[in-house]
Structure 1
Amino acid sequence: MNTEQEDKIELQQVETAVLARTGSLPLKPDAAVELRSRLDNLPVAAALKVYWRLSVLCMLAAFSASCDGFQGHFNGSIVANKGFIRQFSGGGTKLDPTWVSVWGGTATAATFFSQVLIAYVNDYAGRRIALWCTFVLLTASTLAESFVTNNVGWLFAKILSGVGVGAMQGTLPMYLAELAPTQLRGLFTQAYTFWYVIGQLLSSVPLQWYSDHEPYNFRSPIRIQFAVIGILLLVYLFLPESPRWLIQTKRHDRAKKTLAWLHKGVPGYQVDEQVAIMENTVVEERKQNAVIGGLGLGIFRGTNGWRLFIASWPKICQQFVGLSVFNTYATYFFDTAGFADPFLITVILACAQLMSMIITMFLVDVWGRRPMTVYGYLVTVLADFGMGATGFRNVSKSPALGGLLVFFACLATFSTTSASAIGYAYLAEIPKQDLRAKSAGWGLAISNLFSTMFSYCVPLMIAGSAGWGVKTGLFFGCTGLVVVTVAWFILPEVTRRTPAEIDEMFEKKVNPRKFKRYITEAQSHTGGQDEP
């Protein structure tokens, strides 16, 4: 049986299923296929008002990212705690940089494998089961961190943490994008990073307090995570399965019940219409996948491979603009630079991140993904060069120069937090529905290959064999300039676009820089997009 015959059979099967449930057929390919609802044209402010129930649920789900943020910041900050140093250096006053590199690099490597494997859980068991997997893993890692006493034990805890974080990153942003209305996808995928930053603060503030009052107590800050995990348990009990995944796996009755519950009281919302739109989108995408090469290695071929590359690029950029320096190893970086209180600097940086995310959450669906990503990373590159330039003098002996270094670090943190957060939106929006889980997993995993490399290298750059210290910023300024230039040419604008519209523009090979003003067929049938 050839591909064309298979496509016809699948289309007939979907039409029969829709007819049985709704009493009407989806529109034929040669007619005006229903791929966009008129509710998708609502301005952002109006959408927030009518979708208030769904908005609350998305924010509660996004709270999960606080565990990710806690772990991400904690891994790099705890290595400057006096009690941790005494415990894991055999009673000494300085950690072995090799072990610091091994802990960070291995955790990132574990994240890589987890991001790839969780995609299969997402595809075959559902988003909700995948989220429960992250819950179990993060609980286990917190227990391990609370009791291990040697370097190998801490390595085991970091492996558990890396696997849990990878599962979270590979599931939650995609889940939020699938739940959120078209014009609010940016807001709620950014909510992931907002709570991630809150998690970093939950790590920074206790570490700072214990550094001042109980400098040799490093177990108590770890156990704060149990409070977050307890809240997650309550939230996860009420989270529904993704309606798009239910449609994708032909669980239509559950999808209809879930959509009806999520959108209860939304004026003009028609469950049957939304189910038909989702089904039509899935059918069209599967026809395209059949031509390219199916759902296996098909994510790397043709248009799918191009979409994977684009979706991955913003997260890859974050590695090459120096995220490991002013985020993961910020405490280590400022401790090596000679600052007396490196924990205080990380609290300041976490506040800069929080400010960045509050602004980004409410502007990403107004200003758009492309400018906030490209220009955000460009600002980071300039800040990298500024940080590196301060390294030609002894920062610890010049308060003014030290203040300038902190300023550039805050600027880099502010801009990278925004641009990197939008990377989750690209990963959730650019791939096709059937390929979304695998594409998001592989996209994050590719990014984490570079993160793994820098997790091993950055401690050695800062204080190891390279010994660059603050001048490490110059290296990331150069690499960052390259990746930002590529981003300018390849990143499209997909703000307030439906999945079907994004599919159409990629299939018609529209120049990515021209996505914003391109009028799609689905858009013309519903009267276009209203201004935000």
Structure 2
Amino acid sequence: MDDSKFQVKSRTPFLTYAISLFLLLAILCEGYDMGASSGALLLVLESDSMNLTPLWQQLVMAGPLPTATLFTLVAARVSDTFGRKKGMMASSVFFMLGAVTTVLSSRRSILLIGRLILGCGYGFSSATTAMYIAECSPRHIRGRLIGMSQPFLTIGTLLATVISGLFSHNKTHGWRYIWGFQGILGAIQFVGLLFLPESPRWLMQRSRRKEARKAIIRMRNGVNVEEEIAEIRESFQEVHHSKEKSGDVFIRMMKTPSVRRALMVGCGLQFFAQFSGVNTVIYYSGIIIQMAGFGDVSIAIWNSVIINCINLTFAFVGVWLVDAVGRRKLAIIGLFGLFVSSFCLATTFLMTMLYSPMVNATVDSTNNTCSTYSICDSCIQDISCGFCFENENDVISGLCLPVNSSSRMPSRAGTCNSSSTNIGHSKIWAYDYCPASFSWVAVVGLALFLVFYAPSVGPLPWTINAEIYPLWARSSGNGFASMTCGFCNLISTATFLAFVKAVHIHGVFYVMAFIALVGSVFCYYFLPETKNKTLEEIESLFERTKNKRRKYIGYDRNAIKEELQGIKERNNSC
């Protein structure tokens, strides 16, 4: 028995891995954009080539998310009608068009249009990638192949931060090179997709049985082909039977209790993954590190590189854990870990505010507001003021000075003015951060955050959503879950800087910690284990009665009590 299993695993052909590789390039493109946006935005602000107010910063950063949310549903229809392969090719085209538009932009409106076009590619890749891989992979490595989305996302983010670091000294056009590299990745994926086969399950759905059979033989090296075809046919009998009862997919999903429960779990996982702050932390990692006290843009970007190296390491750990530990346990532990790390980060930022350097009394004839602040934290919250301090290890106090109207970097007056001989030598100008002696704690906290995120909350929503729906609802189920992801990501990313202004950064992380804790409880009660199950077997997990589901996922206390009572009775009889 064990030998046969080993032989099946060892015979997994190279084609299966090649399919996953080129499909996951779309995830790498997403990760690249997530990592590149923070560094590129910092360079745009320093170059003064575009006047990006805090509102425009949020619009540019969150630019891909509205179209990504909209196009997840479009992608679901396209992949159902024209095939999974063509849906993925569409994502590559949008990645290339978006990158070209962004690179050539001379105004902030054109830059935003380029970001919106990139979002269309996000929508297609988010709705199609995991489903395509799930339908082409054998059960014993399906979780790992889908789980590779997290390492690829992290590789993309790490690659972006390295490239951002390399171009961080090019203040004029560095941001164009950073965002433009994404178009090259899209082109590589498009060429690779030309040589990949279509999903055999989609071919069966379209009654193209001969093509489906050939595809399965190629993907399995002829092993267990008849068994897999029989399972797919049995699933199709259920599909045709349900079609006779109702037509619209969404209405059928809502009328089918098991699918409705699966949709609640799938969308719930995406909700908690996004609002626990995962993508916000990655998008704004450079800015968060700068807020913690690392003023130099290059230092902030290179610290992001260190954090993403840790993220990548634990993403590969997650590839092994997803099938070794199981989806359910990993989700519960991961979200609880995000709660702990977010709580620690929030406390660190709170301490940074409480121990903020004092503002020395100064005469300000041009702006009376700046001279009224008593601490650095209050000074930098005012967009018309900045903090000027001595270039030394422990900063105790400094000056709150008005910002130059033409550029934020030198102050308009005082010792940090660009005309001063001291600027750049004994004085440092901080427009949007306060110096802190324990800035390194924030870097450690962010690293700990990603240690829990990378192997669990990162890949699991996509892995689980690709598994839990029946074939007739798989595209739509993944589409709704991806739309939930995009919508929540849009809200969290587009409002992050405004939220920081309203409740300070420590308040934001306290809220994220609470949401992660609620998500961990949600997974404990509603998420069943799908490890080592075929896609057809997983459908039955959500069809169980309440007591059976509870017993299956391991928290039916009555069943445990009955079992203990039976053991006690047997011991007494002996």
Pairing partner for 1:386 from 338, 344, 353: 344
Q: Does 1:200 align with 2:157?
A: yes
Write the distance in 2 (CA, Å) between the matches of 1:103 and 1:176. Answer: 31
Write the distance in 2 (CA, Å) between the matches of 1:314 and 1:191. Answer: 18
In the alignment, structure 2 segments of 5+ residues that lack a partner are 354-433, 556-574
Q: How does 1:20-419 map to 2 (within 5 A)?
A: 47-53=8-14, 54-82=16-44, 85-89=47-51, 95-212=52-169, 217-264=174-221, 266=222, 269-287=223-241, 295-301=249-255, 302-340=257-295, 341-394=299-352, 397-399=435-437, 401-418=438-455, 419=457
Greater shift, 240-249 or 414-423, is seen at 414-423
Write the distance in 1 (CA, Å) between the matches of 2:102 and 2:549. Answer: 45
| Compared CA separation, residues 118 and 477, structure 1 to 2 (3 A) | same
Q: Does 1:506 align with 2:506?
A: no
Greater shift, 446-455 or 210-219, is seen at 210-219
How far apart are 1:259 and its partner, in Å?
1.2
Greater shift, 412-421 or 380-389, is seen at 412-421
C-alpha contact 2:29 2:156 (8 A) present in aligned 1: yes
Who is 2:493 aligned against?
Answer: 455
Q: How does 1:463-474 map to 2 (within 5 A)?
A: 464=501, 466=502, 468-474=504-510
Greater shift, 132-141 or 472-481, is seen at 472-481
Write the distance in 1 (CA, Å) between the matches of 2:350 and 2:526. Answer: 36
Who is 2:520 aligned against?
Answer: 484
The number of aligned residues is 468
Greater shift, 196-205 or 230-239, is seen at 230-239
Computed over aligned residues only, the root mean square deviation of the Cα atoms, in angstroms, reads: 2.4
How far apart are 1:288 and its partner, in Å?
5.1
Write the distance in 1 (CA, Å) between the matches of 2:306 and 2:4. Answer: 38
C-alpha contact 2:131 2:478 (8 A) present in aligned 1: yes
Which structure: larger Rg?
A: 2
Residues 368-419 of structure 1: per-residue CA shift (max 9 Å, x gap): 10111111011011111100001222375443x3222111111112212222
Who is 2:470 aligned against?
Answer: 432
SS of the equivalent of 2:124 reads helix
Q: Which has the higher contact order (CA 8 A, sep 6+)?
A: 1
How far apart are 1:430 and its partner, in Å?
0.6
How far apart are 1:165 and its partner, in Å?
0.8
SS of the equivalent of 1:240 reads coil
Greater shift, 495-504 or 175-184, is seen at 495-504
Write the distance in 2 (CA, Å) between the matches of 1:81 and 1:210. Answer: 9
Write the distance in 2 (CA, Å) between the matches of 1:42 and 1:442. Answer: 39
Write the distance in 2 (CA, Å) between the matches of 1:320 and 1:514. Answer: 30
Write the distance in 2 (CA, Å) between the matches of 1:193 and 1:417. Answer: 7
| Compared CA separation, residues 99 and 258, structure 1 to 2 (3 A) | same
Write the distance in 2 (CA, Å) between the matches of 1:305 and 1:451. Answer: 23
| Compared CA separation, residues 212 and 471, structure 1 to 2 (3 A) | farther
Write the distance in 1 (CA, Å) between the matches of 2:263 and 2:47. Answer: 41
How far apart are 1:248 and its partner, in Å?
1.6
| Compared CA separation, residues 272 and 134, structure 1 to 2 (3 A) | same
The residue type equivalent to 1:335 in the other structure is Q
In the alignment, structure 1 segments of 5+ residues that lack a partner are 1-37, 90-94, 519-532
| Compared CA separation, residues 42 and 258, structure 1 to 2 (3 A) | same
How far apart are 1:338 and its partner, in Å?
2.6
Residues 210-256 of structure 1: per-residue CA shift (max 9 Å, x gap): 11465752212223223323321331121110001111221101101
Greater shift, 152-161 or 224-233, is seen at 224-233
| Compared CA separation, residues 382 and 512, structure 1 to 2 (3 A) | farther
| Compared CA separation, residues 458 and 69, structure 1 to 2 (3 A) | same
User: % of aligned pairs identical?
Assistant: 20
C-alpha contact 2:337 2:449 (8 A) present in aligned 1: yes
